[in-house]
């Protein structure tokens, strides 16, 4: 219980600072963005330590309630303001971070390039074929949610979809001992790719010379943010012979990584 309390304390404290900032305008925008990222990171730490989704929401509610009761002129807020501003000052110039999510994690990159690059990416496989998934942008392209696959010895699929728990109709995280199973079909939700094209060379996995990029709606990214960081989700590629190639991913700290790249390019 002590370990669980220790893991939840940073989430409570950062949630309070974030709520107080929303009320009183304590921080510069870049500090608010960094604090948002750190708060989402702390939520992930608490969840992985065993804190239930209900308790996480209750902790956030307590923090917001305390901020609502605290006057903007309260001397304690001045202390919080100074501490947070000092702690996150260096984040403005941080270009790269890695967030938990599967064996390789989510790789985040705020560097500005002339060609499209991965801003936030997690790598997986379907059979012997590498699959990269996340947010890409740059080179004049807006940031979009994509899956890039380089199939080995197979025809191209005609469709692709992301499959995950439907947090709207099944609000409790689905966690198994193995940690790799999705809930039953009635509790799942699928997001189909809206389009596909040849993948840019800069988005291909190492040693690959070709691949397909599948673009997904922004609503899929919002749904991923609602998953427990320990939950898996799937990307399924659909073939005309009825077969399905599946790549597994982990939600991890997708929300924190998305907030980090939302701080802007460097």
DSSP SS3 for 204: coil
Residue 218 shares a structural domain with residue 121? yes
Statement: residue 53 has pLDDT above 90: no
What does the pLDDT look like over 227-258, one tens digit per residue? 999 999 999 999 999 999 999 999 999 999 99
pLDDT, residue 3, reads 44
Indicate the pTM of the whole model: 0.91
Instruction: Report the number of distinct structural domains present in the chain.
Output: 2
Question: Of 71, 93, 115, at which residue does a domain stop?
Answer: 93
Q: Given pLDDT bands bounded at 50, 70 and 90, which one contains residue 177?
A: low
In a domain, 138, yes or no: yes
Cα-Cα-Cα-Cα torsion 37, 40, 45, 46, nearest 10 degrees, comes to 150
| Residue 39 pLDDT greater than 80, yes or no | yes
- For residue 180, what pLDDT band results from cuts at 50, 70 and 90? low
Q: Are 5 and 235 in contact (CB under 8 A)?
A: no
Domain boundary among 70, 93, 116: 93
Residues 61 and 131 in one domain: no
| Confidence label for 50 from pLDDT (cuts 50, 70 and 90) | confident
**14 and 122 co-located in one domain:** no
Give the DSSP per-residue string, 141-178: EEEEEEEEE--SSSPPPSEEEEEEE-TTT--S----SS
103 confidence band (pLDDT: 50, 70, 90):
confident
Per-residue pLDDT for 4 more than 70?
no
Model confidence at 5: pLDDT above 60 = no
pLDDT of residue 6: 63
Residue 75 lies in a domain: yes
Share of the chain above pLDDT 70, in %: 96
Averaged pLDDT score across all residues of the chain: 91
Listed residue (200, 137, 152, 173) closest to 57, CA to CA? 173
Q: Is 202 exposed, middle or buried (0-12, 13-18, 19+ CB in 10 A)?
A: middle
User: Nearest 5°: phi and psi at 261?
Assistant: -70, -20
Question: At residue 138, does pLDDT exceed 80?
Answer: yes
Average pLDDT over residues 163-189: 85
- Of 93, 123, 146, the residue at which a domain comes to its end is 93
Consecutive H or E run containing 225: helix 218-225
pLDDT at residue number 186: 92
Mean pLDDT for the stretch of residues 109-116: 91
Supply the pLDDT for residue 1: 40
Tell me which of 28 and 131 has the higher pLDDT. 131
Question: What pLDDT is recorded for position 2?
Answer: 43
Domain residue limits at 45: 2-93
Q: Is the confidence at residue 8, as pLDDT, over 90?
A: no
Task: Let me know if residue 265 belongs to a domain.
Answer: no
Answer yes or no: do 223 and 116 share one domain: yes
Q: Considering the domain boundaries, does residue 30 fall inside one?
A: yes
Per-residue pLDDT of 211-222, as tens digits, reads 999 999 999 999
Q: Label residue 200 by pLDDT band (50, 70, 90).
A: very high
């Amino acid at each position: 219980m002590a370990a669980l309390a220790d893991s939840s304390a940073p989430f409570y404290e950062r949630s309070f600072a974030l709520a107080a900032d929303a009320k009183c305008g304590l921080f510069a925008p870049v500090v608010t963005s960094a604090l948002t990222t750190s708060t989402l990171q702390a939520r992930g730490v608490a969840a992985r330590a065993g804190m239930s989704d209900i308790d996480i929401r209750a902790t956030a509610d307590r923090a917001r309630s305390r901020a609502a009761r605290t006057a903007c002129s309260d001397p304690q807020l001045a202390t919080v303001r100074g501490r947070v501003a000092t702690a996150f000052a260096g984040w403005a110039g941080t270009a790269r971070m890695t967030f938990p999510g599967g064996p390789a994690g989510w790789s985040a990159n705020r560097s500005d390039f002339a060609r499209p690059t991965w801003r936030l990416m997690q790598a997986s496989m379907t059979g012997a074929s590498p699959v990269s998934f996340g947010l890409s942008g740059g080179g004049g392209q807006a940031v979009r949610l994509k899956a890039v696959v380089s199939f080995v010895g197979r025809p191209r699929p005609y469709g692709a979809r992301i499959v995950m728990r439907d947090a709207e109709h099944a609000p409790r995280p689905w966690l198994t001992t193995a940690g790799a199973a999705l809930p039953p079909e009635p509790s799942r939700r699928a997001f189909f790719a809206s389009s596909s094209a040849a993948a840019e060379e800069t988005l291909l996995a190492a040693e690959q010379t070709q691949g397909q990029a599948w673009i997904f709606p922004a609503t899929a990214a919002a749904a991923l943010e609602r998953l427990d960081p320990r939950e898996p989700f799937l990307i399924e590629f659909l073939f005309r012979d009825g077969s399905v190639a599946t790549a597994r991913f982990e939600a991890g700290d997708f929300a924190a990584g998305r907030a980090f790249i939302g701080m802007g390019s460097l």
